[in-house]
Amino acid sequence: MAPSSTTTPPTSSWLDKVYLVYFAIHIPVMLCVDLVPLYPHSLWVPASAPLHFLHDLRAWYLATYADQFFAAPPAVAPAFFTFFTLLELVFHFPVSVWAVRRLGGKQLDGAAELVLLVYGIETVLTTACCMFEAYHWDAALVTSEQRVMLLTALYGSYLAVATLLSVDMYARLLNRVSPSSAGHIAKKLQ
């Protein structure tokens, strides 16, 4: 007998709400911090620019957390970070907008779970790369307090949600193809 595509573990409902909040927060963070360097400088850098508040927000973020990925030249971000920023534009942003609409509406189906699994795994890998790099930043640039904040509250929480999303979507998909195998994983998530 084929597994039911409408059966979901009881944890799915509250986890979907967690994911909805995550994606709803992630969209303005991308638009106001992460993707800003891709905007024309004339829109956000000059003091008279219409989006200059984005420049000020990024300056505050850098001063507060010393996140070297956002430091102005002559600081050099690793080449992978430029790629990750582009990936955020072409993958994270569209998936996040789609996920807010999807999680705010009907129950997820297998196709939606597959998209979120790919998103989760990609986010775990890219966030882990950023955390590894940040862990090795020079102590002259980042205080130990700033490093702890970056690696736990900022990047760490992002990694935790992406990991949870990946494991949850994997378990849901596994349940669709092999309900007995997924039961063990679903119990561990509870």
The domain locations on the chain are: 11-28+74-189
Phi and psi angles of residue 131, each rounded to the nearest 5 degrees, phi first: -65, -40
Q: Which residue has the higher pLDDT, 10 or 111?
A: 111
Whether the Cβ atoms of residue 30 and residue 92 lie closer than 8 Å to each other: yes
Indicate the pTM of the whole model. 0.86
**Which position has the token pair 């949600």?**
161
Mean pLDDT of 28-32: 98
- The answer to whether 76 touches 135, Cβ cutoff 8 Å, is no
Q: Looking at the predicted structure, is the pLDDT value of residue 8 above 60?
A: no
Q: Is the pLDDT of residue 9 over 70?
A: no
Residue 10 pLDDT more than 90? no
What pLDDT, on the 0 to 100 scale, is given for residue 4?
45
| Mean local confidence (pLDDT), 33-37 | 96
Contact of 23 with 103, CB cutoff 8 Å: yes
Please give the pLDDT value at position 11: 59
pLDDT, tens only, 63-120: 999 999 999 877 888 999 999 999 999 999 999 999 999 999 888 999 999 999 999 9
> Which of 19-33, 68-82, 133-147 is the least confident region?
68-82
Backbone angles phi, psi at 33, to 5 degrees: -130, -65
- 176: tokens are 């669709």
CA–CA separation, 100 vs 20, rounded Å?
A: 6
pLDDT at 35 over 50: yes
Is the predicted pLDDT of residue 3 greater than 60, yes or no? no
Average pLDDT for the chain: 91
